[in-house]
Structure 1
Amino acid sequence: MEHESDHISDVGSTFDFKGFVLKVFSYWQLILLSVAISLGVAYYNNVRKLPVYRLGNMISIKDDQNPFFTSNTSLTFNWGGTSDKVNTAMTILTSRSHNEEVVERLQYYIGYQKDGEYQRVNAYGQTPFKLIADTSANQAQGKTFTVEFKDPHTFTLSTTFQGGSVGVMNYGTKERGSVVVEEGEFSREYKLGQPINLPFFNGVLEPTNMEPVPGQPFYLQFKHFDGVVGRFKGISVNAQSRGASVLNLALTGDNKAEIVDYLNGSVRVLSENMLERKNLFATKTIRFIDSSLAVKSMELQNVEDELNLFRNQNAIVDISAESSQLNSKLLTLDVRKEDITRQLAYYETLEDYLQTRNDYSNVPAPSVAGINEGSIVSGVGRIITLAEERRKYQYSLQENSPVFADIDRQINAVKSILLENMTSSKELLRKELQDINRNIAVAETEIRKLPQEEQDLLKIQRKYSLSEKTYNLFLEKRSEAGLVKAANVSDVMVIDMAKDTGGGQIGPNTQLNYVMALMVGGVIPLTFVFLLVFLNTNVHNAQEVTRLSPIPILGMIGKSRMDTNLAVFNKPKSAIAEGFRGLRSSLQFMYKKQGVTGSKALLITSSVSGEGKTFCAMNLATVFALSEKKTVLVGADLRKPKIFDDFGINNDVGMTNYLIGQESLDSIIQNSMVPHLDVITAGPIPPNPSELLMNEQMETLMAELKERYDYIVMDTPPVGVVADALNLVKYADATLYLIRQDYTKRGMLDVINEKYAKGEVKNISFVLNHFVHRAKYGYGYGYGYGYGYGYSYGRYGTGYHEKGPTTGIKKWWREMKRNFE
């Protein structure tokens, strides 16, 4: 008994992989249909999907030194080296500010479309016109305008307005708003080259080299600016190799002309901006020199007027040789003093910038003040370059980005060194200034010995000469800065321009779509079958029963499609009838093996109602009677009597009347239309059926029946609902426990397994009822077990049984229906 308990506890622990595979194959129609639908969807998508292209260009970030740059040149550029420029260029090309500028220049916020085979397609570069939008006026954002040519020069601009207003955007200021429009259709004729000035559309359609086709519509739309920029920010920028200065740019889209223009336009904007930043130092210096020249020019003019006025008012025209010598000496000292003063003033201004300001872009070149010290010149140039780089990043990165911290750290490092060098330089200049002032004082003492008129003339000439020298110095610096700026070239060199060479298509990947369709088409039915297996707790086949219980299977009864329960009597040559005959043979073999002689009692029960107990009891009793054995069918289900209707008898008197002593055995036995078969119905429903089945009258009844009949077949209530059947087990020589295919729950077998393990029921066997063979249940015909009769007949017979439909549409329909039942 302990061994049997262990067996029961292990039941159901093994997954029936073979049954699962066979069940999957049984749904081949569903799998085929699912795959066909998936492939159809894939084909539909493939033919409707627009081609996707990927094109690229190649540039080099070089470190071109200015050909006019020497150690004595007053301006310094090209700081940072090639690697720094490459990293900066890579960042700029994918930055928002850079792509905003490219989109603005190319006016890529204008969308061009035309009718394709299945949908509207991108028509950039494929239209007989190009819209030049007025960036200072409002444009209807997101609104589609239709352009249809009437002749090669005249077209109709039309659209439809719904509602009283439309959203507009000024692409110059990026301001949004709305304008009131008249609801309904808008249509107006224009000519190519004619300005269009509307509250919601402003620009001019310029002709291209394509000839317009009258009646062919084109579509224009002003897109969301930030959305367009976001799309082109996805441009791919990669270095040719690690540490190399060659960059490969690539962009993906649905229009090759659009991709080509954008890639080349992006490089062009980068080149111009890098040259502008390269010239920034010179530009700021030229601006400073121009403002200083204006001041010095006015100063020189005033001194010249003063000198002419003095000569006109005095007799003296020129100075003596001695005065000339003193004047020359003083001029040299004054020029040097002016130079030192200018350098000290520049140092003070630069120190103020470094200590109090964050914007260093307005600092002029140190050489403007005559400072040619290499450490000072390079330091200022480095700071200005870093400051400009930081300003550029502010448009594309957040303020807390690590890039800004790195740039600030570099600026502070250069600033610290620069301030130290400036301190030592200022100290030396101040000492030199003191010496010059002493020499000037000595010379001025000598001048005071000259006549007064000559002193006055010498003083004016001295002032004039100093102003002239300073003016000429600024002119020289201005010329030098302009020469350096003019000679500068961009550090961006185009190796390969973007170009449509006929290839570049990367999508759609039709083969991948078909592979994915096959996978999806197969996974869906497999998932369905998987869920069907693991979520369906019904018993499906004999193999499941053997895994769930140690109780043997005696036989299988097919699914009856008759309107009556008397299947054997009405159609004795049917497969159902042969199934019951096989079950009869198995029972006789079992009785013989157990040594049962004389009258034999058979009890039929199940887990719950609806599993076919009454059906099997009636037909088993019929096959026993047809073998000319005296048989009685006992309706022991006192709670829900059923067997009387099919035999055409009444249920007014039955077992209940006998058990309570109202009627004798002869009075409750009723004859049936089946020869040798008598029936005892349940009778009226009593209030205490369990107690009645347990009293002595039941023992007396069974003893009298065994004396009169060869076979006693008892139809009892389900053991999973009430305990009535267990009270009758002691009277039975064999017990049949019915399991209905696709109806009985697996968990229902736990009750009978437990009672079998405890020995409460003996000589019990399973009968698989309502059996319909389908491959989806995992097993073929000819299955037998123990004493079981192998249900190996075809569904519609094999010549031994009554025929069913065998050809034509009816057969096909039945086969399809059977697979999905």
Structure 2
Amino acid sequence: MEEEKEVNALSGMFDVKQFLQKLIGLWWLFLLCLVIGLSYAYYKNQFIQTYYNIGAMISIKDNTNPLFTNNQSLTFNWGGTTDKVTTAITQFKSRSHAENVVDRLQYYVGYIKEGDYFNIDAYKKTPFFVYIDTTQAQLYQQPIRITVLDQERFELSANFAAATASGFDYGAKEPVRVQVPQGAWKQQFQFGESIALPFFKGTIERTAENTATGEWVIRLENYWGTVMKYKGISVSQQPDGSSILALSLEGLNKQRLIDYINTSSEVLVTEELRKKNKFAVSTIAYIDSSLQTQSALLKESESELESFRDNSQLIDVSAQNAGFNEKLTSFEIQKRDLLNRLNYYENLESYLKRRSDYTSIQAPSVVGISEGSIGEYVGSLVQLSEERKRKEFTLKPDAPVFRELDRSIDALKVVIYENITSSTALLNNELGVINREINKLESQIKRLPKEQQEFLKIQRQFDITQQAYNVFQAKRAEAELVKAANVSDVYIIDEAKDTGQGGSSKDSNINYLIALLIGIAIPVTVAFILTLLDTFIHTPKELEKLSPVPLIGVVGQMKHDNNLVVYEQPRSAIAESFRGLRSSLHFMYNPESQYGSRTIMVTSSVSGEGKTFTSINLATIFALSGKRTLLVGLDLRKPKIFDDFNIENTIGVSNYLVKDATLNEIIKSSGIENLDLILSGPVPPNPSELIMTARAGDMLEELRKAYDYIVLDTPPLGLVSDAMEISKHADASLYVVRQGYTKKGMLDIINDKYLKEELGNVSLLFNYFDDRARYGYGYGYGYGAYGNGYHENTPSKTAAYRLKKQIKKLFSLSRSKATKKSIPDNDPGLKRN
């Protein structure tokens, strides 16, 4: 049982050598798939466009205004350089930034040049440029053909399926419907002419550097799709963690990439400078509004002073009372300055209590507050508020970082409140001192005549207003200087530029690689499937693995007119194979065999595996060695031997078994010395029953007395049971397996009977073996070049020869049928015993 299990396991093994042989045999399929695959890859590569990668480099630095100290500056540092780098990276990849750049360049306008295999992005390669009116609705995602006629004129054409079409308002960023002329439409225009069609509004300008004529296509693309496409710009720090940013963008049109990267950098430079000048601009706006008020007051005071002088009789009042007026004016100016500071603190405290966004707080230096602590605290508060505002775009409202920022902001507000309280107290003390000094001077002035008092009052009011006006003008000049001196924290190191760099075709090599892999994979897969599905036996080694029955020999493949190969070509490789088989059979005989005769049974699984061929040539090789040999045709169902010896199959075993002939009457001469024949005779209706009769055994016992070797050509063991009955009378049994014909499953019968010892002294013979397609095995076959001079060469068969053989086979088949019909099934002489 263990041996049976081992055989079954071996039968399921994958034959690697057989797989390799099939793969080599499919070289034509490999070549065909490779040619088809590479041809298709070449065709596909014609549709592959060239991609370009354009880059630029910028620097993010904390460029502080060098003209002002920290106490004077109207700007704040928003988190330092590290925070600015992070902000810049985020801004480059933000949707709003991409929108800004796309709107500037109108990148939703597609320029198309139709090619043989694909359309080309013709941005800045056309002799014109399109400027659309973003305040009006435009035709959306439908091509409009532009035919350049000459240097002055062009033609627009399109084909519309309906009276309305999809449109888009690129200003409002929303889809609309536009009216279009149904059917084919075309119209000529002048370059630079304002076009106001219901579906297209804008201007098409002629480019000076391109004077070509021809046809192009423009199409207004999906706005948000365009924005998201450029939102994917690559931004990285070079090296990692530094303030140097490397920008890169990949696409089909090199100039489009260059323009986007450079414009994107310019937008960031402008935005950063706008942020930096934010407080200077708001300060200038505040001062301008204050100057207007002070200017009106100054004109009013000047007019009042001139009117008083014209109507007064006082002579040189200014000179007489210059000391009083100068002191009082100085105190009044100091008082106004203190009141401005107190007003700032009051407004600041109210702002902090009422508002939650502290990014618009005015710098303390605007009103002359030079305390470093209050300016530092206000700057820190604005910085934290700005940071919180930025994080609101990327984080959830309940993120822990907001709680931490809010705690820091609240702590700063408490400190600022304390500073406001202490500073307000000090300013109120100073204000009290100044008020007392003013009261002293005013008491002294009251002793003067009424007219002089009135003049001094008007003069003092004029001087105070004049002084305030001068202060605001100085502050405005300071703010303008700060704004002019500010530079952006973004510095362009290398702008994007066409340096002649080539592009790359992403998939061209991949397509060829895929074609190569497919060209290999298909033959390998076919060979693998054929190997898995191949149920035939191909090599002697495979046969040895599949069956525990010993392999006694291998007979090669040879083209010949009939089965008499050994007799007609005794020096052939086939003849040598049978000589080797004859020698091997000596080790299988029972040494106690009666009469010294040897009986050899030849069978197989099914018809067509070479039983008759083996029987004839094995008997012939015994006869040629001088032994009295008898070849008996016991295949009563499908007789064949008679055809090779050109003998009529009119009498034979079937006649003897039904007692219609004697033994001497059925023995025929073969025409070969020492070889006699007993044919099977007419086909009986009950062959199995005839074989099972005692007369069949008696016949073989009688023949043993007269012959040295008896070769029995029996029916297939896999189809009928006749061979099992005959095997009882055989000294040895040969089970013929044919290369590429016998299926692996057919060996189950012989394996089962061998393991159960139902068929003794049996060996396998591997027939029709072609060593040119398989592996050399020995057994007297497959000598190759070493056989030259020892074996006869097999002549090549022509087409005429093969045709002649087929005709002869058909004739023999018809004659065999006629013989079969000559003995009716109801013949009383052949009835079952």
TM-score (norm 2): 0.76
Given that 2:654 and 2:680 are in contact with CA atoms closer than 8 Å, whether structure 1 keeps it comes out as: no
User: How big is the shift at 1:206?
Assistant: 0.7
Question: d(CA) in 2 for partners of 1:718 and 1:113?
Answer: 79
Partner of 2:523: 525
1:381-414 Cα distance to aligned partner (Å, 9 max, x none): 45545655666677xx654499x876x4784465
Letter in 1 for 2:777: Y
What is the match of residue 607 of structure 2? 613
Structure 1 range deviating more: 479-488 or 11-20: 11-20
Asked if 1:803 corresponds to 2:796, the answer is yes
Corresponding residue for residue 480 of structure 2 = 482
What are the residue-to-residue correspondences of 1:403-552 with 2, within 5 Å? 408=402, 411-412=405-406, 415-436=409-430, 438-439=432-433, 450=446, 473-507=471-505, 517-518=515-516, 520-534=518-532, 536-552=534-550
What is the one-letter code of the residue matched to 2:731? D
Identity of aligned residues (%): 35
The question of whether the paired residues in 2 share the 8 Å contact of 1:604 and 1:737 is answered with: yes
Question: What are the residue-to-residue correspondences of 1:294-309 with 2, within 5 Å?
Answer: none
SS at match of 2:797: coil
C-alpha distance 261-722 of structure 1, shift in aligned 2 (>3 A):
farther
Judging changes above 3 Å, is the alpha-carbon distance between structure 1 residues 321 and 490 closer, same or farther for their aligned structure 2 residues? closer
Q: String of CA shifts for 1:421-473, please: whole Å, max 9, x gaps.
A: 30221221332255356557757876689599899999998888777666655
Gap runs ≥5 in structure 2: 591-595, 672-676, 804-833
- CA distance 1:456–1:430, change in 2 (3 Å): farther
- Paired residues of 1:236 and 1:249 also in contact (CA < 8 A): yes
Distance 1:739 1:382, change over 3 A: farther
Q: For the residues of structure 2 that align with 1:578 and 1:539, how far apart are their CA atoms?
A: 25
Q: Which residue of 2 aligns with 1:50?
A: 49
Residue 268 of structure 2 aligns with an amino acid whose one-letter code is L
| Superposition deviation, residue 504 in structure 1 | 3.5
Q: Which residue among 585, 593, 602 is the counterpart of 2:587?
A: 593
Confirm or deny: 8 A CA contact 1:169 1:176 kept in the other structure. Answer: yes
The residue number in structure 2 matching 1:347 is: 348
Cα distance per residue 1:225-258 (max 9 Å; x no partner)? 3333333334333333244433333333333222
Secondary structure in structure 1 of the residue aligned to 2:563: helix
Distance 2:307 2:662 in 1: 164
Q: 1:568 — aligned with what?
A: 563
Cα distance in 1 for partners of 2:610, 2:397 equals: 83
SS of 1:270's partner is helix
Using the alignment, how far apart are the partners of 1:281 and 1:536 within structure 2? 87
| Residue matched to 1:176 | 175
The answer to whether the aligner puts 1:114 opposite 2:108 as a matched pair is no
Matched, 1:208 2:207: yes
* Equivalent in the alignment of 2:828: none
Measured in 2, the distance between the counterparts of 1:744 and 1:165 equals 75
CA contact (8 A) 2:610 2:738 kept: no
Which one-letter code corresponds to 2:27 in the other structure? W
**Runs of 5+ unmatched residues, structure 1:** 607-611, 811-821
1:619 is paired with a residue whose SS is: helix
CA distance in 1, matches of 2:477, 2:27: 89
* Cα 1:760/1:337, change in 2 over 3 Å: same
Q: Could you tell me whether the CA contact under 8 Å between 1:654 and 1:682 is conserved in 2?
A: no
Which residue number in structure 1 is paired with residue 364 of structure 2? 366
Amino acid of the residue matched to residue 222 of structure 1?
L
Measure, in 2, the Cα distance between the counterparts of 1:646 and 1:176: 95
Structure 2 contact 191–206 (Cα < 8 Å) conserved: yes
Q: Compared with structure 1, are the counterparts of its residues 666 and 384 closer, same or farther at alpha carbon in structure 2 (3 Å cutoff)? A: farther
Residue 282 of structure 2 corresponds to 284
Q: What's the secondary structure of 2:610's corresponding residue?
A: helix
Deviations 1:726-774 (A, max 9, x none): 5654343333334444454545545544543454433323344565555
Are residues 228 and 702 of structure 1, via their aligned partners in 2, closer, same or farther at CA, if it must alter by over 3 Å? farther
Q: Is the 8 A contact 2:71 2:365 kept in 1?
A: no
Q: Post-superposition shift, 1:278?
A: 1.6
Q: How has the CA–CA distance of structure 1 residues 434 and 483 changed in structure 2, closer, same or farther, with 3 Å as cutoff?
A: closer
Match of 2:822? none
Distance 2:327 2:705 in 1: 166
User: 1:187 maps to which residue?
Assistant: 186
CA distance, structure 1, for counterparts of residue 476 and residue 519 of structure 2: 77
Distance 1:666 1:504, change over 3 A: same
CA contact 1:614–1:715 (8 Å) conserved in 2: no
Deviation per CA, 1:602-652: give whole Å up to 9, x if none: 14132xxxxx5355233334446766944322237xxxx444899699999
For residues 335-382 of structure 1, give each alpha carbon's deviation from its aligned partner in whole angstroms, at most 9, with x where no partner exists.
Answer: 2541342232232134236xx52x434333233344433344344445
Matched residue type, 2:360: N
Change (3 A) 1:509 1:594: closer
> Would the aligned equivalents of 1:655 and 1:683 in 2 still touch at CA under 8 Å?
no
Contact (CA 8 Å) 2:146, 2:155: kept in 1 or not? yes
2:530 and 2:242 map into 1 onto residues whose CA distance is: 60
User: Distance between the aligned counterparts of 1:425 and 1:155, measured in 2?
Assistant: 72
Q: Distance in 2 between matches of 1:650 and 1:142?
A: 91
Q: Could you tell me how far apart the structure 1 residues matched to 2:756 and 2:476 are? A: 115
Tell me, what secondary structure is at the counterpart of 2:679? strand
Map residues 570-719 of structure 1 onto 2, 5 A cutoff: 584-595=578-589, 597-598=596-597, 600-606=599-605, 612-614=606-608, 616-623=610-617, 629-635=629-635, 641-643=637-639, 663-664=658-659, 666=661, 676-679=677-680, 683-684=684-685, 703=701, 711-719=710-718
Amino acid at match of 1:196: I
TM-score by length of 1: 0.77
Structure number, greater radius of gyration: 2
1:48-197 aligned at under 5 Å gives the runs 49-116=48-115, 118-163=117-162, 165-197=164-196
Moved more, 457-466 or 290-299: 457-466
Distance 1:791 1:679 in 2: 37
Alpha carbons 2:78, 2:84 under 8 Å: kept: no
Report the equivalent of 2:332: 331
Per-residue CA deviations over 1:82-130 (Å, capped at 9, x if unaligned) read: 3333333233223333222222211222222224464432222221111
Aligned 8 A contact 2:737 2:767 in 1:
yes
CA pair 76-716 structure 1, distance change in 2 beyond 3 A: same
Question: Equivalents in 2 of 1:422, 1:683: separation in Å?
Answer: 127
